[in-house]
């Protein structure tokens, strides 16, 4: 009697044309000005603004918040990796609190500015802006463009005016709604998640903050600007493709 191994059956199913148990979440662009807002960001990444090249003393900052970064103290000491044995991390832990990690990335010079705040909000974000805008070369730059999402800490015309009143050469640029993938600081956050926060094993909030801030200096010393290749032409192709799935 013929028999088929479980691994063979799984391989057949995996190679099948239809796999209903697989799914991928997505958010359909609903911002009516998506193309125009996204295009502005892509121009800035290419060092352009309103059809003109940026000067050497003009800078582009990508900023956002990584909220609720927890410090978890494990109930047994983590065992380091050894030859042919992976690191072993205790499953149970004590919660030691959480930070809102707010960061700004100079996208063309690979500089990172970050701070750990007890909560997110207008005041913490403004402290990050002050941290950047009061130091060279940003304090006497011609213009500094800040790319942000639509979080309540920096949403809408009020935020634009608030920051312009404090720093006349600051231009706040909002990404389209639900378009965090266009904000380059999210790439940095993904690196932090992999290299700093995994596994999450910190004895205290202070230890977590120290690790986050120390990593900024290390990353700056070893990194280059991200090779951003997605441009306006790619955006037009993507939107044309999505148009086929637009709701009636």
- Residues 41-72: tens digit of each pLDDT: 999 999 999 999 999 999 999 999 999 999 99
Residues 6+ apart with CB under 8 A from 43: 49, 50, 232
Q: Residue 146 in 3-state DSSP?
A: strand
Average pLDDT over residues 146-170: 96
**pLDDT score, position 175:** 96
Burial of 148 (0-12, 13-18, 19+ CB in 10 A): buried
Q: How many helices (H) and strands (E) does the chain have?
A: 7, 7
Q: What is the pTM assigned to this prediction?
A: 0.88
pLDDT of res. 22 = 76
Mean pLDDT on 210-232: 95
Query: Which pLDDT does position 234 carry in this prediction?
Result: 96
- Closest C-alpha to 61, from 103, 10, 2: 103
pLDDT band, residue 5 (cuts 50/70/90) = confident
| pLDDT tens readout for residues 88-106 | 999 999 999 999 999 999 9
Residues for the chain: how many in total? 248
CATH code of the domain occupying 30-76+90-242:
3.30.420.10
Q: Judge whether residue 137 has pLDDT over 90.
A: yes
* DSSP-assigned letter for residue 80: P
């Amino acid at each position: 009697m013929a028999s088929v191994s479980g691994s063979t059956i799984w391989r057949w199913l995996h190679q099948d044309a239809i796999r209903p148990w697989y799914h991928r979440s997505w958010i359909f662009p609903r911002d009516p000005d998506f193309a125009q807002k996204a295009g502005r960001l892509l121009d800035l990444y290419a060092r352009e603004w309103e059809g003109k090249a940026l000067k050497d003393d003009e800078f582009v900052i990508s900023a956002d918040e990584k909220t609720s970064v927890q410090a978890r103290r494990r109930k047994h000491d983590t065992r380091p990796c050894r030859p042919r044995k992976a690191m072993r991390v205790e499953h149970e832990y004590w919660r030691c609190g959480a930070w809102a990690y707010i960061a700004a990335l100079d996208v063309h010079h690979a500089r990172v500015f970050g701070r750990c705040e007890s909560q997110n909000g207008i005041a913490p974000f403004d402290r990050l802006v002050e941290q950047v805008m009061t130091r060279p070369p940003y304090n006497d730059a011609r213009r500094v463009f800040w790319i942000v999402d639509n979080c309540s800490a920096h949403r809408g015309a009020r935020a634009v005016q608030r920051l312009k009143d404090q720093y006349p050469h600051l231009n706040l640029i909002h990404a389209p709604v639900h378009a965090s993938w266009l904000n380059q600081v999210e790439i940095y956050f993904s690196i932090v998640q992999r290299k700093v926060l995994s596994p999450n094993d910190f004895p205290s909030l202070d230890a977590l903050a120290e690790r986050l801030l120390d990593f900024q200096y290390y990353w700056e010393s070893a990194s280059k600007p991200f090779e951003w290749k997605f441009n306006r032409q790619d955006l037009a192709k993507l939107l044309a493709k999505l148009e086929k799935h637009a709701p009636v």
